[in-house]
């Protein structure tokens, strides 16, 4: 997937596969600048959400973030605030 204005390693930090989490190597985010997925505000998360929207491992990513209680960033197309709401309402990943 290509998102206008995104290039890999723009700030020298990229998303890479992590051993034991094979789905990460299949993510649409792989090779993109990680800062895209750590916006300063939820309103700035649109680019990250666009990358996630067509990703084949979106659900696995979101489930990982929910299980590990990730406090920051966009995971599986959801901000930390959105993930907290899922947990609070007793829902699993959408």
Which H or E run contains 11?
none
- Both tokens assigned to 37: 């997925």
Res 15: pLDDT: 47
CA-nearest of 10, 20, 15 to 55 is 15
Q: Three-state SS for 16?
A: coil
DSSP for 17-47 reads -BTTBGGGGG-TTTTSBGGGGS-SSGGGGHH
Helix (H) or strand (E) holding 45: none
**Helix locations, 1-94, DSSP H:** 46-53, 58-68, 80-88
Tens digit of pLDDT for each residue in 53-92?
999 999 999 988 988 889 999 999 999 999 998 888 876 6
Whole-structure pTM value: 0.73
Q: Is the pLDDT of residue 3 over 80?
A: no
Mind listing the pLDDT tens digit for each residue in 6-58? 433 333 444 444 444 678 889 999 999 999 999 998 889 999 999 999 999 99
Report pLDDT for 45. Answer: 95
């Amino acid at each position: 997937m290509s998102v206008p204005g995104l290039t890999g390693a723009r700030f020298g930090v990229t998303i890479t596969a992590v051993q034991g989490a094979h789905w990460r190597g299949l993510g649409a985010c792989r090779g993109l600048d990680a800062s895209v997925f750590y916006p300063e505000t939820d309103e700035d998360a649109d680019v990250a959400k666009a990358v996630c929207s067509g990703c084949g491992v979106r659900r696995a990513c979101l489930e990982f973030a929910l299980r590990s209680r990730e406090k920051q960033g966009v995971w599986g197309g959801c901000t930390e605030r959105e993930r907290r709401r899922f947990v609070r309402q007793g829902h699993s990943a959408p």
